[in-house]
Amino acid sequence: MSRFFRCLSFNQTKSRTRLGRWLRRSGQLLVVFVLLYIGLYTFPQILFPYSYSTQGVTLYARFPLPSETTERIAEIVNLIDRSELAVAGRTERIFVCNQPWLFRLLSPMSAGAFAYSLPVTDNVFVANADLVHNVVHSAAPDFNTRSFSAVAAHEITHGLIRHRVGLFHSLPTWVVEGYCDYVACESSFPNAKGLHLLATGQQHPSGSFQYFIYRQMVSYLIEDRHFSFQQIVDRADQAAAVEEETIKAIKARDAE
C-alpha cells in the first residue's frame, strides 16, 4: 500500500522550492479527483436517491419513480428473455440521468447517445427518459426518440455479450449493435422507411440508418437462417456478404 501511495505522490520527499511544492500538491489533487471519479463511476448510486427493484432489475433515478416503473421493467425483462444470451439470476442496474450534466458526467464518451453500458460493472446509464410514456430522448439532431424499455434492453444486451465472449472482445459493430437492436425489437430509424430504402436500393446518410441495417442483418441470420449467436459471430468478418444476402431477402419479401 505504501508503494501505491508513493506512486501517487502522497509519500514523496518534500520539495524545497515553491514550484516543486505546487506541482506536488497539484498532482495529489489530480489523483484524488481521478480516484473519486472512478468511485463515482463504479458506484453512482450515491447520486440517485430513488430506486425500485423487481425481477432482478433495479432502476435508479433522481426523481420519485412512477407506478409505471413496474411495467417498464417487465417489458425490459421480456425482451431480454427472448435472447439466448439471457442469464438466469443475473441482476441489472439502470440509472436514469434526466439532467444533461449528469449523463455527460457518467457517460462522457456517449454524447448524443440514448444510453451507455459501462464495461466491468455493466451499469446502464440512460439519457432523458419518460417512464410514464416509455420514451427516451437523445441529444442527436434527428431520429432521437426510442422506447425506454427497448433502450434499456439494448444496453443490457451489451453486458450479456461481454459476459458471453469476454470483456475485451473484438466483435465488429454490425454484430454487437445489430444483435442489441434485434433483442430490443426496434431501431431509432423508422422501420417502414428503412425497409423501403433497402428494398429499393436506396441509402440514407444517418448513422441511425446504418444501425437499422445492422439489425436487419442479424434478424435475417436468426429468423431466416436460424443462426445461433455463435454462428453469427463466426460470420463476423463477412459483413458485406451478410448485408447483400439480407437486402436480397428483403427485396424478395417486398416483391411477394
Domain 45-165 has CATH 3.40.50.1370: no
pLDDT of residue 37: 64
Amino acid at 200: T
Residues 6+ positions from 34 with CB-CB distance below 8 Å:
none
pTM for this prediction: 0.87
Domain ranges of the chain: 2-42, 45-165, 170-256
Q: What is the pLDDT of residues 143-201, one digit of tens each?
A: 999 999 999 999 999 999 999 999 888 999 999 999 999 999 999 999 999 999 999 99
Cell of 199: 428494398
Per the CB < 8 A criterion, the answer to whether 59 and 73 are in contact is yes
Which residues of the chain register pLDDT less than 50? 1-5, 7-11
pLDDT tens for residues 242-255?
999 999 999 998 87
Nearest to 157 by CA among 92, 102, 237: 92
